[in-house]
Amino acid sequence: MGFAPNSIGKYKLGRTIGEGTFAKVKLAIDSNNGQYVAAKIIDKKMVTESDLKCQVQREIRTMTLLHHPNVVRIHEVLGTKTKICIVMEYVPGGQLTDKLSYAKKLEEREARKLFQQLIDAVDYCHDKGVSHRDLKPENLLLDQKGNLKVSDFGLSAMRKPGDILTTACGSPSYVAPELLVNKGYDGAVADIWSCGVILFELLAGRLPFDDSNLINLYKKICRADYTCPQWFTEDQKKLLSRILDPNPKRRITIAEIVEDEWFQKDYVPSCGYECNEKIHLDDVNAAFDSIEETATEANIPKSSSFINAFQLIAMSHDLNLSGLFEEKDENKQVTRLGSKHTIHETMKKIEAAAMDVSLAVERKKNHKIKMHPKQKMTRWSRSSLDISAEVIEVAPTDCVISISKSSGELQVYEEFCKSLSSLLTEKSEISSQIKEPQEVTANSKNIQESGCSEDSNYKDHKKDPRGYSSS
């Protein structure tokens, strides 16, 4: 199927209503019935080169599962060797962000109605095994009657009950605290936190957690450090305190939210439905090899170990959140070192440092190394020395090494760290071949990532007038 300059198949293209790095979203008309639709036209080559193929596939795969009055519906997918076109429901009211920009805070009745519709949509998604993971006003659209519709499932994750996700993603002000610990989390529970942030914003006209410094922002999020405006009612404060609980195990569930007295007022539930409309995946094989079978985060192949922004910030000594979610081991020692070498060179440096202090090494998956005393060293063997190191790639010639000791003599651990630190100062083999090595700065806004994995999903959204993400 070819792409005419002003049409795609049966759809006549109109003005651009959204634009991003890899795609444009155009208003279009179905020539068969005159219905307005939103046509998201994606450049396949740019997406493939940026390793975002899985993200686009996941968005399509997820949207084909969801049929709910408060979720943007996908009508059709068209494709060629160079383009992918996702034909979606057109939502004319724009982003919820646009409404908040001029209305500031909403009246309680309107805020409650939108929050009720958001909870219904999120509950439906969770029932279908979908965690959105990027709920925020930019991804909530309003139709001509002011009803809410959830959009942009590019960061979503398919999950089964009990599945644990590991990738920290989303938008900083709306992210749940458990995502910052670099441990496993429940995507559905994290979505509930984001819903609470949105409810606060609807009622207050501002975010509960806001700071230009990301470290300070995440500290506030982890402590649930927010102040309610004086016009908040006790019922509103009570519900928000149960949603914005930094401990995910104590956080209120959607079922409990629905039973809340404030939530129940004027509540008209909206339910999902079976859709007879068949989703045509015409020519997608020509553009992307295939729309793959539903995959979970665990079985998506990872072609890179690049660290993402959330992981890097979570490593900060000023932002140790683990105490909120796990018991501390007073005997455990942790040291972090920077390496200006490739990940493979860094692994060799670790092994060399281990040999310097007579430790045997055992390589594990995901660039992890276990170190233990050689059999002949009976004195250290009795002390059950346990040292491990993990190497995380920040850039091709920049790594972070996390070294931990959970038991054994501190002296051996310190000698190993000292030896490794000395070895890391040696010039990199790759660096020495480059006349003017380019400096790579790793910060929260400039983190190089790659691979067809969930970890490539930390994205910096460009605003568009209708909320149709074009990542």
Instruction: For residue 130, give the CATH number of its domain.
Output: 1.10.510.10
For residues 85-96, average pLDDT: 92
Residue 443: inside a domain: no
Residue 175: inside a domain: yes
CB distance 185 to 248 below 8 Å: yes
8 and 27 share one domain:
yes
269 and 386 share one domain:
no
CATH number at residue 37: 3.30.200.20
129 and 71 share one domain:
no
Residue 112 CA from chain centroid, whole number: 27
Q: Which residues contact 113 (CB under 8 A, 6 or more apart)?
A: 266
pLDDT at 448: 34
pLDDT at 441: 36
Give 451 or 40, the one with higher predicted confidence. Answer: 40
pLDDT at 188: 93
Q: Give the end of a domain, one of 288, 321, 343.
A: 288
Provide the residue range defining the domain that includes 158: 96-274
d(CA 471, CA 211): 26
Residue 449: inside a domain: no
Residue 164: inside a domain: yes
37 and 115 share one domain:
no
Q: Which residues contact 397 (CB under 8 A, 6 or more apart)?
A: 340, 341, 342, 428, 430, 431, 437, 440
Residue 390: which H helix or E strand, with range? strand 386-395
Residue 300: inside a domain: no
Q: Into how many domains does the chain fold?
A: 3
d(CA 207, CA 15): 33
* Confidence check: pLDDT of 240 > 90: yes
* Confidence check: pLDDT of 318 > 60: no
- Can you state the percent helix, strand and coil of the chain, rounding each to 5? 35, 20, 45
* Confidence check: pLDDT of 447 > 60: no
pLDDT at 136: 95
pLDDT at 372: 82
* Confidence check: pLDDT of 411 > 50: yes
pLDDT at 312: 61
Q: Count Cβ atoms below 10 Å from residue 309 Cβ, excluding itself.
A: 20
375 and 259 share one domain:
no
250 and 394 share one domain:
no
Highest mean pLDDT among 19-23, 53-57, 299-303, 464-468: 53-57
267 and 141 share one domain:
yes
Average pLDDT for the chain: 78
Residue 18: inside a domain: yes
d(CA 241, CA 192): 12
Percent of the chain surpassing pLDDT 70: 73
* Confidence check: pLDDT of 73 > 60: yes
20 and 164 share one domain:
no
206 and 353 share one domain:
no
Q: Which amino acid is at 454?
A: E
The residue to which tokens 């490539």 are assigned: 456
Q: Give the end of a domain, one of 222, 250, 274.
A: 274
100-106: which pairs have CB atoms within 8 A and are 24 or more residues apart? 100/137, 100/201, 100/202, 100/205, 104/205, 105/202, 105/203, 105/204, 105/205, 106/202, 106/203, 106/205
DSSP of 50-89, one letter per residue? TT-HHHHHHHHHHHTT---TTBPPEEEEEE-SSEEEEEEE
* Confidence check: pLDDT of 219 > 70: yes
Q: Within 13 Å and on the Cβ side, how many CA atoms surround 77?
A: 24
253 and 113 share one domain:
yes
Give 420 or 303, the one with higher predicted confidence. Answer: 420
Question: Per mean pLDDT, which range of 174-188, 190-204, 350-364, 400-414 is the poorest?
Answer: 400-414
pLDDT at 437: 38
At 352-408, the pLDDT tens digits run 998 888 888 888 877 889 888 875 444 444 446 788 898 887 777 788 888 888 766
CB distance 436 to 430 below 8 Å: no
Residue 211: inside a domain: yes
Grade residue 258 by pLDDT with cuts at 50, 70 and 90: very high
403 and 329 share one domain:
yes
pLDDT at 433: 46
84 and 109 share one domain:
no
Catalytic residue among 120, 123, 134, 191: 134
30 given a catalytic annotation: no
Question: Per mean pLDDT, which range of 61-70, 351-360, 437-446 is the poorest?
Answer: 437-446
At 2-47, the pLDDT tens digits run 444 688 888 998 998 887 777 888 999 999 999 999 999 888 888 8
Q: Within 13 Å and on the Cβ side, how many CA atoms surround 288?
A: 27
Residue 156: inside a domain: yes
According to DSSP, the residues that pair with 126 across neighbouring strands are none
d(CA 187, CA 165): 7
pLDDT at 242: 97
Polymer length in residues for the chain: 471
Alpha-carbon distances of 408 from 337, 372, 379, 388, rounded to whole Å:
21, 10, 10, 12
Give 465 or 351, the one with higher predicted confidence. Answer: 351
